[in-house]
Structure 1
Amino acid sequence: MFSFASYPYPKSESFKEIIVSSLGAGISVYLFLIIFQPFGTENFQHPYKFLLLFPYCIIFGIAFFIANLMTSRFSSWNMGAELLKIIFILFVGSILSYFYNSLFLSHVELDLGNYFYMFLYSLAVGIPVSIIYILSRYIYLKNIHENTARNISQHLPDSVPELQQNLLKIAAQNTELIISENDFLCVQSMENYCTFYFLENNLLKKMLVRISLSGALQQIGNGAVKKCHRSYIVNLTKVKNLKGNAQGYKLILPEIDFEIPVSRSFIPSIIPQLQQQNS
């Protein structure tokens, strides 16, 4: 159970994705209500019945939007956090739904016991909708990223033409590191330190330098050397393979024994450049 909760899950990062997913969640709730008409809804007779049910779409869409907007600021996300977010959405949605139902539909006095029933109704509607959303979004992103990674990997060249002997110079405190761009591989950040990976006489070398990743990027960032994650800078010309999953992509450089993740926020700048290298 705990391993399932700790499994990485892709959170919504762009404002456009938050808007679209919030609209989808609200519409899904509305469709569930008008198709299945649960909890006595089929006995509710009114000429504008479906119109009166529509505010539930707005309520849960707003709750979903607020929750996604709040969680978009987190640097990492997993299945357990996603489930907690869903519970928060259902809780907020149940409160708003209770006030709407009590004040505008049933016209009953506000009562904690009545709210408890509304919370149970919200769970009954929200849980199946949430399960469908989580699974469908995970499968969709996984398929998209896997197919894109497969297509790019098939066309990545085994070797690239030698670049001009551009030198990357890194100066930090009493340390000065000069690396040929042809030999530079990547940078891995650990708090206030960065480990630089590069080749020297075709042998892998690494050096630990006291510098921030943003400071390193200012000194060596160019068209091919880019930040791809909050902890990594990579030389895209050295990428020889690409893996995709629901969280995003991972870059594979044969010279190093670990995979470099690509954050979803960096996908629009990293993936198109890898595709250009194929052409």
Structure 2
Amino acid sequence: MKILKLLDQQFPFLDSVRNRWILIIFSLVFSIFFINVFVPWNINRWNNDSGIEEFIHLSGFGVIAALVLLISQFSIRKLVRLKHFRIWTFAVWVFCELFVMATLFSFYQASWDVNINRFFQDIPNSFKYTLLAILIPYSLIILFLSYVTQKSKLKQLAETKDLDDKAGLINFMDEKGNVRFSILGDQILYLESADNYVVIYYKSDERLAKQMLRNSMKNIESFLTNSNFKRCHRSFMVNLQKIEFIEFEKSTCRIKLFGLENFIPVSRKFFPEFRSFTIR
């Protein structure tokens, strides 16, 4: 189940047009450089070219790879209306891209005149070489985009906290870093995780209201560090200013919040830290 949840997570690094162009251009430049400088698998001996003709021929592999990525990331994604990847759809998508590249490389190497029987014999090796060559720039650029995205999110989180400290507002962002709604901090009672969502419970006109946010409790906890909110359970965070009383037991406790009938549990994992934080 954990593996299925992991595979079903969002993969946002190729959502923007800018990031897709970065992938395509970097793959083109890297492939042309790599194949001409390092000449993997003695690929320069597969044909009788030399000099500028050899450079043009070898560079053709990089151009083909870039064209496949261009068509895949723009035309085909638009055709199938795929705006956002999940990890599993991204993996399948990359596999299909690599297979198409391997097929075109086989035809290109044979000057577009391929015998079907020979093609099926060559395609496994062609796919292997494509996998080894193209995954290098693909992996590098995904790591780079992941770093840039996370850095941007952290910066946005810091700016958001600084901007709204005076107003007492807390801006809640989804897993992509987009602000979905803002709530006064002193109106919030507690937060509860529910699958891939976090539910924020707050007071509105003396009644209990809630808002759902697509994000993880871990991300929200990180965002609310050094605030009045404290994680007390795998599924709960509470506003320390809204605690009416705490009922302690041997190695755990439960919390009663103002205006709330049900108790909020404190798990054994969070009990020591929570106890030291509340009892002074």
Q: Is the 8 A contact 1:86 1:130 kept in 2?
A: no
1:127 deviates by 2.5
Q: Is the 8 A contact 2:24 2:70 kept in 1?
A: yes
Q: Residue 205 of structure 1 aligns to a residue in which SS? A: strand
Higher relative contact order (CA 8 A, sep 6+): 1
The residue number in structure 1 matching 2:3 is 2
1:205 and 1:123, CA in 2 relative to 1: closer, same or farther beyond 3 A? closer
Cα deviation 1:197-223 (Å, max 9, x = unaligned): 98533544369xxxxxxxxxxxxxxxx
Question: Are residue 66 (structure 1) and residue 71 (structure 2) matched?
Answer: yes
Quick one: which amino acid aligns to residue 97 of structure 2? I
The separation in 1 between residues aligned to 2:204 and 2:86, in whole angstroms, is: 39
Question: Are residue 57 (structure 1) and residue 62 (structure 2) matched?
Answer: yes
Q: Residue 146 of structure 2 aligns to a residue in which SS? A: helix
1:136 and 1:96, CA in 2 relative to 1: closer, same or farther beyond 3 A? same
Unaligned runs of 5+ in 2: 170-183, 189-198, 214-218, 230-235, 238-280
Q: Alignment identity in percent?
A: 14
For normalisation by structure 2, the TM-score amounts to: 0.53
Q: Is the 8 A contact 2:98 2:130 kept in 1?
A: yes
The residue number in structure 2 matching 1:153 is 161
Count of paired positions: 191
Quick one: which amino acid aligns to residue 147 of structure 2? I
1:201 and 1:115, CA in 2 relative to 1: closer, same or farther beyond 3 A? closer
Question: Are residue 13 (structure 1) and residue 21 (structure 2) matched?
Answer: no
The residue number in structure 1 matching 2:135 is 127
Aligned CA-pair RMSD = 4.2
Q: Is the 8 A contact 1:198 1:205 kept in 2?
A: yes
* Structure 2 counterparts to residues 1-279 of structure 1, below 5 A: 2=3, 4-41=6-43, 43=45, 46-48=50-52, 49-69=54-74, 70-71=76-77, 73-74=81-82, 76-103=84-111, 111=118, 112-159=120-167, 200-201=204-205, 203-205=207-209
Unaligned runs of 5+ in 1: 162-181, 186-194, 208-230, 233-241, 259-279
For normalisation by structure 1, the TM-score amounts to: 0.53
The residue number in structure 1 matching 2:269 is none
The residue number in structure 1 matching 2:247 is none
